[in-house]
Amino acid sequence: MSVQFKFPKLPSIDISGVFINVISQDRDLPVSNTPQSQDRYEATTQEIAQKILAAGKGTFWEGLKAQMRLDDKLMAWAMANEGLRVQLFRLIDCLPSLRSKSGTARHMHEYLASDAVNMPAIKSLLNFGTDNPNSPTATLAASTFGTAVETLARRYISGANLPEAIKTIEKLRRDRFCFTMDLLGEAVISEQEAQAYLDRYLHMMNELSERAKTWQAIEGVDRFGDELLPKVQVSVKLSAFYSQFDPLDPVTTAKKVSEPARTLLRKAAELGCGVHFDMEQYAYKTLTLDILKQVLMEPEFRDRTDVGMTLQGYLRDSERDLIDLVAWAKERGKPITVRLVKGAYWDQETIKAYQYSWDLPVYSQKSSTDFNYERLVQILLENHQYLYAAIGSHNVRSLAKAIAIAQTLQIPPRCFELQALYGMGDRFAKSVVDMGHRMRIYCPFGELIPGMSYLIRRLLENTANSSFLRLSTSESRPISELIAPPTMETSDGKHCQVIFDGFSNAPDADYAQVQERTAATDAIQFVASQFGQTYFPIIAGEAVSTITFVDSLNPSHSSQVVGRIGLASIEQAEQAVAAAKQAFPAWKYRSASDRANILRRAAEIMETRRAELAAWIVWEVGKPLREADAEVSEAIDFCRYYAKEIERITKPHARSVPGEDNLYIYQPRGVTVVISPWNFPLAIALGMSAGALVTGNTVILKPAEQSSAIASKIAEVFQAAGMPDGVFNYLPGRGSEVGAHLVKHPDVHLIAFTGSQQVGCQIYADAAILRPGQKHLKRIIAEMGGKNTIVIDESSDLDQAVVGVVHSAFGYAGQKCSACSRVVVLAPVYETFLQRLVEATRSLVVGDASDPNTKVGPVIDAAAQAKIRSYIEKSRETATIALEMPAPDRGFYVGPTIITDVDPEGAIAQEEIFGPVLAVIKVDNFDRALAIANNTPYALTGGLYSRTPSHIERAYQEFEVGNLYINRGITGALVDRHPFGGFKLSGIGSKAGGPDYLLQFLEPRAITENTQRQGFAPLDLD
């Protein structure tokens, strides 16, 4: 396997551009700092940078080591050993969840004595092993390590609670530092937590303001002559005000977020506090800026100058955002503060871009980020009359550049300040203050558990090879090199694409981009305008009329008819088999490349029709838009992956010796019947069909009755791609009639089925019977659902676990065969997990799938609705309903339901419900959790949330499922990366989208030829 990372080159960057206020979205961004302006500030920048460095002598790591009680060598080793660095940070991340010294000792051994570290010295320090984690040696090691991490955390976190943090900021003020306070906490996963977040900020502002009454105003810090600035400032995350913050639904998100933002601003005005809004992941950036600009334009807040927002210099579009903010501030008429930072989520943004094959939003090279940052600094400071500047950096070169520009332009002190994170670059920050500049320290506070991800980001930043703080400690690093002007690297690529053996997954739509949202909205409206059309069977390339029809309904509004489906008769099923049989010989002998290229053209057609196809899925089967779009990606992937695979598989496999040629080849089986489900009406139907077609078989697609309009689009795509008549036939009909007839037909060679266990087993039984005239045994490819479990152990990250379970259980209303229907939770975290699970689920919006705010849509039809409700009613007899959400009555809705006190052997825990119903089971130990997870008739998907290496290793070996997911949700399998399929009663063990899937559609042949003639034979063995 070869893995390639592609970075297409960017156009060369013209640095001769001039600053402008209006910029086209379609143009490359201008570079605002011309060579002349660079020269203007550079000499002063160099001079100031050397002064700061000289005044801040002493290494960062020496200061850190002095505070740590763990062996000083540990951090130094981590800098030199990437394996140790990764394992150490993973251990630190896990530490707050460990509730005993023995647990800490066991995890220390599992992480630090592992083969990934490969350091005998470390292993010898941890010689207590895992046999006796309660030994004195183990207890001492755990205590020492825990103390060291707590000390390390206190270096970056200003206090575990508000009184501790107040002591810290009062000390900072005595040293002439300003401050801004941030409440630690990364994930807000329910409206209850969102309200608690706002309440804690209001309380914090009250307490700080009351304490601030005792503080004297300090000249140059919060007083400039007669002008007084707020002594207190808080920094807040806008996205934490609403757990369903989503760029796909900007209208609802803005409404939900704006009111708590107003509440905070009003309280701040009453108390005389400043408020600064932080920036987080890129997906939220544009919506965050839009909401803030809208609120701050309201008459009540338009004159406020004690408010700020943040821009991240590592983002490629940050210059455009800053230029837009300048124009907005001019219109507003009053300045606000813009905090410029480099950005703290580089790893996360990069990983996400690769996973989704999206454009990389951040610069991939540190030098490019620094270059862009200085460009932003200059734009901001040159517009100081419209925007106040807060320059946040620990890079002395960046700080010096800002000071140089401010001095040259004689910017008023009120309009400009520098900022640093608490515990980061303290010596440099003190040097800046001593030079007479205002420096604000960003002071996060809170308990260790919510602060752990913040701590890990700081450690990653400080230990990165490109970290200025780390580089500045190197005696071999010349100062001239440290403070040299950064450059924009022309090789700094933009598009992320991971290619495995020539295949790359199609990127989903990125709804953080306005053009993607607009295309989706337009398509939703367009498809709605197509409602009520009639869809007839297509046999041998021609539509054929029918006598019987059925209405395909919109599950979100059951009175709406999406399409009128012509149901094929038995006679038409016979015609379809005859057409497929007649087309088979010619299709069989088409080259593999010809067949593959038709699939590739089909993939391109679906790319161009992506938004429309997703909209059909939304309307006909009630799947919310983001999940519908992902299904289109999967269909595209099936075409491209199987096209690549058939070309690999059909390469000659020869084993020749003198006098004998041996060849191993494959041939198609014949007529294939594809019986597809409604829950993935495009991806599964097309995937099974594509697998059969590309291998040389002909296909009759019998789609689920509820999703036959979407299936007709597959016929449209294949016809447009050049599929010969009769090779693919679209045959909507009743499964009990047409489907059963096709399964029993003697001219059918293969049946590919996805659906219920009951129907799948019936197909097996019927297909096994040899019919009159049948000269072959039928091959069955069957995937028949699951009863899928996620295990939550005591070391899990509950922020991740709750979100993953909610998405896996209630995404598409629980109607995925991979959906989580059982969660098994270890006792130490059970109560906390359950409380957060219930509240996170309660925050989901249940409604029309076409509404971008909807997270849980309808179930497919009235029969499914009745079945699911019957299970819920049955559970009242033996279990406890922890949550049963209300649901609309206009369609086929069932509100998400969580059931506790569930008997692991009972019907709720054993039978496939196929709806938004989740059973929660409490266990005492991991052995019991695995036993329950494996004790069902199914083996499709399963998951584990754990940070315990031995538990993860055991799951690899013992968790009996076809697809096991660790520390992520269990739905959303991707072609090639996550080949999908189960065993036991979940299916035959084949893997759709995997390297052996196409073999199910082929018959192997071995051919041997004796090449010897009268005692001679060709000797060329090539």
**CB neighbour class for 695 (10 Å; exposed up to 12, middle 13-18, buried from 19):** buried
Q: Could you give the CA distance from residue 750 to residue 747 in angstroms, rounded to a whole number?
A: 9
First to last CA, the chain: 25
Q: Could you give the CA distance from residue 874 to residue 886 in angstroms, rounded to a whole number?
A: 18
Q: Could you give the CA distance from residue 347 to residue 997 in angstroms, rounded to a whole number?
A: 34
User: Token digits for 542?
Assistant: 């021609």
- Left (φ > 0), alpha (ψ -120 to 50) or beta: where does 239 sit? alpha
| Residue type present at position 606 | M
Do residues 426 and 435 make contact, with C-beta atoms less than 8 angstroms apart?
Answer: no
Do residues 400 and 483 make contact, with C-beta atoms less than 8 angstroms apart?
Answer: yes
Asked if 705 is an active-site residue, the reply is no
Q: Could you give the CA distance from residue 779 to residue 751 in angstroms, rounded to a whole number?
A: 6
Q: Could you give the CA distance from residue 756 to residue 677 in angstroms, rounded to a whole number?
A: 9
**CB neighbour class for 199 (10 Å; exposed up to 12, middle 13-18, buried from 19):** exposed
User: Token digits for 676?
Assistant: 């597809």
Q: Could you give the CA distance from residue 987 to residue 557 in angstroms, rounded to a whole number?
A: 34
Point out the catalytic residue in the list 273, 443, 817, 820.
817
User: Token digits for 515?
Assistant: 């053009």
Phi, psi for residue 368 in degrees, rounded to 5:
-70, -40
- For 759-879, strand residue ranges (E) read 779-783, 788-792, 820-826
Asked if 193 is an active-site residue, the reply is no
User: Token digits for 321?
Assistant: 């955002």
* DSSP conformational letter for 813: G
| Residue type present at position 732 | P
Q: Between β-strands 779-783 and 748-754, what pairing exists: parallel, antiparallel or unpaired?
A: parallel
User: Token digits for 234?
Assistant: 């808080």
DSSP-assigned states of every residue in 197-266: HHHHHHHHHHHHHHHHTTSPP-BTTTEETTEE--S-EEEEEGGGG-TT--TT-HHHHHHHHHHHHHHHHH
| 517 Cβ contact list (under 8 Å, min separation 6) | 247, 248, 250, 511, 852
Q: Which of 747, 731, 741, 743 is nearest to 578 (CA)?
A: 747
Do residues 666 and 696 make contact, with C-beta atoms less than 8 angstroms apart?
Answer: no
Dihedral sign computed on CA atoms, order 404, 407, 411, 413: positive
Cα 645 from chain centre: 27
Do residues 47 and 397 make contact, with C-beta atoms less than 8 angstroms apart?
Answer: no
Phi, psi for residue 596 in degrees, rounded to 5:
-60, -40
User: Token digits for 662?
Assistant: 């041996």
Q: Could you give the CA distance from residue 642 to residue 189 in angstroms, rounded to a whole number?
A: 39
| Residue type present at position 581 | K
Q: Could you give the CA distance from residue 940 to residue 942 in angstroms, rounded to a whole number?
A: 7
| Residue type present at position 275 | V
- Left (φ > 0), alpha (ψ -120 to 50) or beta: where does 521 sit? alpha
Point out the catalytic residue in the list 280, 319, 374, 783.
783
Q: Which residues pair with 453 in a beta bridge?
A: none
Give the number of residues written for the chain. 1022
Do residues 293 and 238 make contact, with C-beta atoms less than 8 angstroms apart?
Answer: no
Burial 70-87 (b: 16+ CB within 10 A, else e): bbeebbebbeebeebbeb
| 685 Cβ contact list (under 8 Å, min separation 6) | 674, 676, 701, 703, 707, 710, 711, 714
Instruction: Just list the catalytic residues.
Output: 783, 817
